[in-house]
Amino acid sequence: MLAALLYGREDLRLEEVAPPTPGPGEVVMRVGVATTCGTDLKVWRRGGHAKMLQLPTLFGHEAAGQIAALGEGVTGWQVGDRVVANNSAPCGECFFCKKHEFSLCTNLRFNNGTFAEYLKIPAPIVQHNLLPIPDDLPDALAALTEPLACVMHGAARSNVQPGDRVVILGDGAIGLMFVGVLKVWDPTVEIFLLGGNPSRLHIGEALGASKTFNYRQIEDVPGLVKSLTEGWGADVVVEATGVPSVWEMAIACARPGATVNLFGGCPRETTITVNTEQLHYSELTLKGVFHNTPLYVRQALALLASRALPFEHLISDERPLKQLEQAFCDMRDRKVIKVAMKP
């Protein structure tokens, strides 16, 4: 089968590899659509990821399709079932799982390889995070389950209260999903979205942003936020870029007592500077939020199936797998948000 393998920094190769066969408890899925992701873009550009993969590796982690083969002992599924599989599953037994902190599971099982004709799904994911796709939900939207689950996990950890004013820094798919999730959860929340792409900012408005701003046209982003909030700063700030300087900007946008969700994953071993006086005397809550949990995987698929939000705006194009590298180049150049790749 044709599959994409990542060998290093911007070294992505399409190769013919043997199709997978399922072991006990495993499932093989025929990929219908695999969507590109900002995390995949960062991994492609940086040549690695702190947790999810080791090079060289099969690449990609968002997909939907049909079951092509069942391993020994798999029950409750049939060949031909339409399914979406999260890219991970917790063990359920470790220190963190027993505390229901599943995203911190010490044995978190990741799975990569969606940019291919077939994907083998490990037994823990089959057991915990393989879900049926509703009949009327297209594969391209179902494939958004994983990133949306991450966003819903992040939104739930952000301490947003009714009527809060929330600043979201970043107009990529994750930042735009945060807009939609927070607005559908509580319509009273006022959301200010900052990004650098006018068309993406328009999508942010369609998803529920109260006001949008092009940061390229603003000299002082924290000053703008304070002007929108009677001089205080935002109740909640969500950083969705993964750039250390923007992490610092997020903190500067926060009011005393605010929560700052540092959601975007930065390059390895990068650091930021925090003003200790502001952190202490303003009683800021700084949070790093990572990945998702089985609960939010299910809630994400349900939200997509409800069609309550126009998430189809996040899929800029549909292309054959052979154009995968060009899709990542276009993502890098901010010409597209997400691309639905078809084997």
> Stretch 292-313: mean pLDDT, rounded?
98
The per-residue pLDDT for 147 is 98
Residue 120's nearest CA partner among 7, 293, 38, 1 is 1
Task: Confirm whether 152 is domain-assigned.
Answer: no
pTM for this model (two decimals): 0.96
The per-residue pLDDT for 47 is 81
Give percent of the chain above pLDDT 90: 94
Q: Are residues 76 and 165 in the same domain?
A: no
CATH number of the domain within which 325 lies: 3.90.180.10
Q: Are residues 309 and 273 in the same domain?
A: no
Average pLDDT, the chain: 96
Task: Confirm whether 215 is domain-assigned.
Answer: yes
Q: Are residues 67 and 99 in the same domain?
A: yes
Q: Are residues 196 and 323 in the same domain?
A: no
The three-state (H, E, C) secondary structure of 82-128, written as one string: EEEECCEECCCCCHHHHCCCHHHCCCCEECCCCCECEEEECHHHHHH
Instruction: Report the distance separating Cα 48 and Cα 209, nearest Å.
Output: 33
Task: Confirm whether 110 is domain-assigned.
Answer: yes
Whether residue 223 is predicted with pLDDT greater than 60 in this model: the reply is yes
**Enclosing domain of residue 220:** 158-288
Residue 151's nearest CA partner among 307, 300, 337 is 300
Q: For the chain, how many structural domains are there in total? A: 2
Q: Are residues 304 and 271 in the same domain?
A: no
Which residues lie across from 63 on neighbouring strands? 34
The per-residue pLDDT for 51 is 66
What b-and-e string marks burial along 18-53, b requiring 16 or more CB atoms within 10 Å of the CB? Answer: eebebeebbbbbbbbbbbbbbbbbbbbeeebbeebb
The per-residue pLDDT for 50 is 57
Task: Confirm whether 89 is domain-assigned.
Answer: yes
Q: Are residues 241 and 116 in the same domain?
A: no
Instruction: Report the distance separating Cα 330 and Cα 309, nearest Å.
Output: 25
- Segment 122-146, tens digit of pLDDT: 999 999 999 999 999 999 999 999 9
- Segment 41-65, tens digit of pLDDT: 989 998 877 567 778 889 999 999 9
Q: Are residues 8 and 135 in the same domain?
A: yes
The per-residue pLDDT for 276 is 97
Whether residue 171 is predicted with pLDDT greater than 90 in this model: the reply is yes
Q: Are residues 282 and 299 in the same domain?
A: no
Which of these three, 242, 270, 288, is where a domain ends?
Answer: 288
Q: Are residues 249 and 299 in the same domain?
A: no
Lookup: tokens for 328: 């990542």
